[in-house]
Amino acid sequence: MPRLLLLSHPSALLHDTGPGHPERSARVAAVLAELERAPVQGATFVEPRAATREMLERVHTRGHVDRMLGRSGRVGMAGDETPVSPRSIEAALLAAGAAVDAVEAVGDGGQRRAFSLMRPPGHHAEADFAMGFCIFNSIAVAAAHALATERAQRVLIVDWDVHHGNGTQHIFESRRDVLYFSVHQFPFYPGTGRATERGTGAGEGFTVNVPLSAGAGDDAYRRVFREILRPTADRYQPDLVLVSAGFDAHGDDPLGSMSVTEDGFADLTAEVCAIADDHASGRLALVLEGGYSLPALAQCVRRCAAVL
């Protein structure tokens, strides 16, 4: 049994967003090149399966799934800032499928850690529409799959992308079986993620947002994880931990305005590993979200994978 499962597929390179778009195939290419240059001990690559309609419709409306599948083989826009090319829907299905495969790997015993290295990202995708570079909400699909197949009863989703994961929050905000925790730059795109957004109905209190001002770095993030995330997780006692692992809070990222370093992201990874070890028998899966400085993204992924 490998120490770490890395999920990757060539389709991630075939989602063409056009010239000048920050969410480009070079992102995954840079990550894979870095992992080839400096392999992570105990890590094994596997290719994922595509997500099925049943998996997608646990979190997306039938209409959204139909619209996105109907764009397969076409060029155009799937949503706000979300261009698609002929192979984009294939890539999005495999990205969602990779998150599901990661959950199955850690949920079925034996495998403790997995990291999906796919694109497009997913946490902005809402139940009924694509947005913010995201077509399907991969981490939401994976969490819902874990619950529906009884691989988990309480899922903690930690989102450290510089942007708030509006889609993930809204999909689960009325539920108690998923606790969504986000630390992000605010005010910033997409405009959601205020501390007062705590969930709705039965899910009130199971959404935790920690908005940070531009410029926040390693110390601020470590403090959030130590003083807010850890006690929140200890109260919730998740039996599965998932991470929306975006690296656009890095100080070199062209879209974000934060100052997190590679060391900082490694420390955040160690914190979620400890939470998973203490509450979820070590069951932890990371899903790649943003990160648009190619050197920073590649280094951050390798450092986090080494910690896992």
295, two tokens: 């050197």
Q: How far apart are CA 38 and CA 174, in angstroms?
A: 43
Catalytic residue among 15, 60, 123, 124: 124
30 burial type by CB count under 10 A (0-12 exposed, 13-18 middle, 19+ buried): buried
Query: Helices 262-279 and 294-307: crossing angle, nearest 10°?
Result: 30
- Using CA atoms of 122, 169, 190, 305 in order, give the dihedral in degrees to the nearest 10: -50
* Residues 6+ away with beta carbon under 8 Å from 121: 23, 95, 133, 134, 138, 161, 246, 288, 289, 290
CA–CA dist 38, 34 (Å, integer): 6
Instruction: State yes or no: is 124 an active-site residue.
Output: yes
**Count of C-beta atoms within a 10 Å radius of residue 36:** 9
How many CB atoms sit inside 10 A of residue 41's CB?
A: 8
Catalytic residues: 124
